[in-house]
Amino acid sequence: MGLKILEQHQSFGGQQIKYSHESAILQCEMTFSLFIPKKTEEQKAVPLIWFLAGLTCTDDNFSQKSGFQKYASENGVAFVMPDTSPRKIEEDSPDWDLGQGASFYLNATQEPWKRHYQMYDYLTKELPEIVYSLVPNFSGQESIMGHSMGGHGALVIGLKNPERFQAISAFAPISNPMNVPWGQKAFENYLGSDQSNWENWDAAKLVEKTGFKNSPILITQGSKDNFYEIQLNEAAFLAGAKKSHTCVTYQIEKEYDHSYFMIATFIEEHIKHHVNIIK
């Protein structure tokens, strides 16, 4: 595993720690960040929330820009922030929305991506076992959230693993990637041209097929998000949720954009949503 601490910071009584390790699944070095809340005498079990970041991001964006640590520490929850893609590898693209920083949290089947781009397996098989060992008094209860491409990842991974994740939320998610330019580009390159394979990684298709009965899914979208109309439209996802009788709380927030200013504004609400379910 070769786990190394790269950074460690005190924050609101808790510890914000950045790690690196050698990933067997991705066949490269990976980083992730972990927040451990402050210890209290009453805190006997610590639940875990996963946050998946968006296109071009790393594990640093959420940890440094969202201000989540205050609310996580107050509520006694740990947070883990994986990186968005494999790093320090040859496979890449000159385009900012493909390759490193743009994994779409799936398992690639096409060359040259399939050797390293197995992010779904990494997040569901390898990284959890590492993180569980690092969270003191881990309760075994988990939930997942994300932003943009990471919102897509949170929806897909949560919907595929309802026995593991008790709650799902997202900020401005790509909820129907197979029908928008970002998703079509990624899916064509990572998964090939057969669109029947794309459906396995499309949240709108998954929520229609499987539903999510654990709890309502919370989604926050800014009305002034410049990606909203073309990349982030919610219609297909909400229609799929309606067919499977999945409860979705979808909030359009006036004047907010796609940035971490929006996330910082509403992160307390999202954390409370998760805490009310997983605790």
Does the annotation mark 20 as catalytic? Answer: no
pLDDT of res. 1: 61
Q: 169: which 2 tokens?
A: 């939320």
Does the annotation mark 225 as catalytic? Answer: yes
Determine which one of 116, 152, 258, 273 is catalytic.
258
Burial of 94 (0-12, 13-18, 19+ CB in 10 A): exposed
CA 88 to chain centre: 21
Q: 47: which 2 tokens?
A: 């639940």
Does the annotation mark 270 as catalytic? Answer: no
pLDDT of res. 11: 97
Determine which one of 175, 225, 270, 273 is catalytic.
225
Q: 57: which 2 tokens?
A: 């991001």
User: Is the N-terminal amide bond of 173 cis, ω within 30° of 0?
Assistant: no
Half-sphere exposure of 103 (CA within 13 A, CB side): 27
Burial of 211 (0-12, 13-18, 19+ CB in 10 A): middle
Q: 250: which 2 tokens?
A: 């979808």
Q: Which of helix, strand or coil describes residue 9? A: strand
Determine which one of 23, 85, 148, 169 is catalytic.
148
Q: Residue 117: which of 87, 154, 93 has the closest Cα?
A: 87
Using CA atoms, how far apart are residues 194 and 199, in angstroms rounded to an integer?
Answer: 10
pLDDT of res. 42: 62
Q: 92: which 2 tokens?
A: 């890449």
Residue type, 150: G
**Sheet containing strand 78-82, strands side by side:** 4-11, 14-23, 28-36, 78-82, 46-52, 138-147, 165-171, 217-222, 248-253
Using CA atoms, how far apart are residues 13 and 28, in angstroms rounded to an integer?
Answer: 33
Q: What angle do CA 130, 133, 137 make, to 5 degrees?
A: 145
pLDDT of res. 208: 98
Greatest CA separation found in the chain? Answer: 55
- Give the residues across from 9 on adjacent strands: 16
Using CA atoms, how far apart are residues 201 and 20, in angstroms rounded to an integer?
Answer: 27
pLDDT of res. 148: 98
pLDDT of res. 39: 80
Residues 38-54 as b/e (b if ≥16 CB within 10 A, e otherwise) read beeeeeeebbbbbbbbb
Using CA atoms, how far apart are residues 114 and 142, in angstroms rounded to an integer?
Answer: 28
pLDDT of res. 237: 98
pLDDT of res. 44: 77
Please report, in tens digits, the pLDDT of each residue of the chain (279 residues total): 689 999 999 999 999 999 999 999 999 999 999 999 988 656 679 999 999 999 999 999 999 999 999 999 999 999 999 999 999 999 999 999 999 999 999 999 999 999 999 999 999 999 999 999 999 999 999 999 999 999 999 999 999 999 999 999 999 999 999 999 999 999 999 999 999 999 999 999 999 999 999 999 999 999 999 999 999 999 999 999 999 999 999 999 999 999 999 999 999 999 999 999 998
Tell if the pTM clears 0.85, that is, is over it: yes
pLDDT of res. 279: 82
Per the listing, tokens 């989604």 go with 219
Q: Which domains does the chain have, with CATH numbers?
A: 4-278 (3.40.50.1820)
